[in-house]
Structure 1
């Protein structure tokens, strides 16, 4: 029994990846993760922001109240936010294959990540718009601004710091989702962690991927905090 355990330990130790080999494994994976998150966040911002604006202004007290339309749109957004990402990813595999022609790789990960990120970001931005004082919108209306001008300057313009904070949260969530997407062969850090770390019991790879993900999230958070401070006048003036 002792010999078998010793042999198993030796085999396990030999299976760990050498530190010198980690860059060749992690650098391409990092590039794939950045590509996934970058594409998804572009889609999320372009699609989620108009949805948030529509939700805010079709609600009672908005620029163009539409209670029925608001209820339907809000219900759709709530459904998108309700499903855990892993369940959503598995449930829409046929749709993903129809859209991209495949259910593996970066393209296949972008579809479920976008569908999960859009409603999340829409709610974040909607809450940011709600926090804009009503007096700001009222002043813009009194000055004769068009609905588009009011939305662009009085609503979105005033909510920029809060939106940047929401964007930071959403980006971090997409980094986490990209790691989960690695379980379906989407590539990126999550794929390396599962395939080379977990399945091969390679502690070196597992530890390296965890550290890399922590660094990515930390950099995104610090960058987001800096942007929020820069966009907030009284914070940007602090020394």
Structure 2
């Protein structure tokens, strides 16, 4: 296995870089767009400050549920025409980042909504009683009180979509999954498959450890 590792080291480094690129793109899209969507879904839910926009809440919840019901491999194939329009191709890490980002946006939106529901309602009501605007409530109450849970939500998102990025290798998306398919599956090189498994485990454990440590660090309760 050591000889294989040395021989394929350039390929492994390239695949790892592609995986991290896909993860960075989809996480950025999820945090920016999915975070805002999840926040709006929470604020427009029953009993919250923007409850009057209930129609938006119903539509957004429906879209989130529909997209999240798609198995990722099916979503990846189903939106390949859209992927070609956005990325100019349907293969490679940039192309794989398109379906990854779409799935991550709606996945993270639901995580954000559920996380914000753990913020004590009394704290929100106290801020409203003092005349705080919805923007002030978001900035000084929801994001502050829910910061530990939000970090854990990002951690869950990163771990889940690291696995999804490996699935993208099945259709030529590049990354560690593609390396495992090309060498470990098609060429029956079990040692390469083991190397990719160990690499994925190390990445997952690193993300999980850092995410939990950071969440504990910012949790002042």
Shorter-chain TM band: over 0.9
The Cα shift of 1:69 comes to 1.6
| 1:146, distance to aligned residue in structure 2 (A) | 1.4
- Alpha-carbon shift at residue 17 of structure 1 (Å): 6.6
TM-score norm. by structure 1 comes to 0.89
| Structure 1 residues 117-147: Cα deviation after superposition (integer angstroms, max 9, x where no partner) | 1111111110111111111111111222111
* Structure of greater Rg: 1
Name the counterpart of 1:6.
Answer: none
Unpaired segments of 5 or more residues in structure 2? none
Aligned partner (choices 29, 36, 49) of residue 35 of structure 2: 49
1:231 is aligned, of 195, 218, 221, to: 218
- Residues 108-147 of structure 1 mapped to structure 2, 5 A cutoff: 108-147=95-134
In structure 1, what is the Cα distance between the partners aligned to 2:4 and 2:26? 33
Tell me the equivalent position of 1:81.
68
Q: SS at 1:215's partner residue?
A: helix
Determine the C-alpha separation between the residues in 2 that align with 1:69 and 1:168.
Answer: 28
2:80 corresponding residue in structure 1: 93
CA distance in 2 between counterparts of 1:17 and 1:55 reads: 52
CA distances 1:219-238 after superposition (whole Å, capped 9, x unpaired): 0000011011001125xxxx
Distance 2:6 2:60 in 1: 52
Q: Distance in 2 between matches of 1:144 and 1:182?
A: 52
Aligned length: 220
- Please name the residue that 1:27 is paired with: 13
Report the CA distance between 1:169 and its aligned residue: 0.5
2:160 is aligned with 1:170? no
Q: Does 1:217 align with 2:218?
A: no
C-alpha deviation, 1:180, in angstroms: 0.5
Residue 25 of structure 2 aligns with which residue? 39
CA offset at residue 23 of structure 1?
Answer: 1.6
The CA RMSD measured in Å over matched residues stands at 1.5
What's 2:191 paired with?
A: 204
Q: Within 2, Cα distance between the matches of 1:17 and 1:72?
A: 55
Q: Deviations over 1:179-210 (max 9, x none)?
A: 00111211110010001111000011100000
Where in structure 1 do 4 or more consecutive aligned residues deviate above 3 Å? none
Provide the C-alpha distance between the structure 2 equivalents of 1:97 and 1:84, rounded to a whole number of angstroms. 20
Q: Shift in Å at residue 86 of structure 1?
A: 0.4
The aligned runs of 1:63-78 (5 Å cut-off) are 63-65=49-51, 66-78=53-65
Give 3-state SS (helix, strand or coil) of 2:8's partner: helix
Is the Cα–Cα contact under 8 Å of residues 5 and 195 in structure 2 kept in the other structure?
A: no
Query: Partners of 2:6 and 2:44 in 1: how far apart?
Result: 57
Which shows bigger deviation, 149-158 or 201-210?
149-158
Residue in 1 that maps onto 2:48: 62
User: 1:17–1:204: 8 Å Cα contact kept in structure 2?
Assistant: no
